Amino acid sequence: MTLDTSEKLTKDDKFKFSCHKGISCFNKCCSDLTLFLMPYDVIRIRKNLGMGSAEFLEKYTTCQIGDSSGLPVVFLKMNEDKTCPFVTTDGCRIYPDRPGACRLYPLARMRGTKEEYYYIVREEHCEGFEEEREWTVREWIEDQDAKIYNRMNDIFMRLLESRLKRPDRQFTDKELTMFYMACYNLDRFRKFVNETNFLEYFEVDETHINESDVELMKLGIDWIRFSLFREPTMKLRTEAQ
Ligand code: SF4
Ligand code: SF4
Atom of ligand 1 nearest to the CA of 18: 3
User: CA-to-CA distance for 184 and 86, rounded, in angstroms?
Assistant: 19
In Å, what is the CA distance from 19 to each residue of 7, 39, 106?
A: 22, 27, 10
Spatial separation of the C-alpha atoms in residues 241 and 236, rounded to whole Å: 9
Q: What is the pLDDT of residues 172-182, one digit of tens each?
A: 999 999 999 99
Domains in the chain: boundaries: 2-150, 169-240
pTM of the predicted protein model: 0.95
Pocket test for ligand 1, best of 2, 24, 25 (most atoms within 8 A of CB): 25
- Answer whether 8 contacts ligand 1 (Cβ < 6 A): no
pLDDT in tens, 108-123: 999 877 789 999 999 9
Residue 12 CA neighbour count, 13 Å, CB half: 0
What is the mean predicted confidence (pLDDT) over 140-164?
Answer: 96
- Give per-residue pLDDT as tens, 87-101: 999 999 999 999 999
Find the residues whose C-beta lies inside 6 A of ligand 2: 30, 84, 86-87, 92, 94, 98-99, 102
Q: Is the pLDDT of residue 4 over 60?
A: yes
pLDDT tens across 48-73, in order? 999 999 999 999 999 999 999 999 99
Instruction: Please report which confidence band the pLDDT of residue 238 belongs to, taking 50, 70 and 90 as the band edges.
Output: confident
Q: Whose CA is nearest to atom 3 of ligand 1?
A: 128
CA of 145 to the centre of ligand 1 (A): 17
Q: Give the model's pLDDT for residue 239.
A: 58
Distance CA 60, CA 119 (A): 28
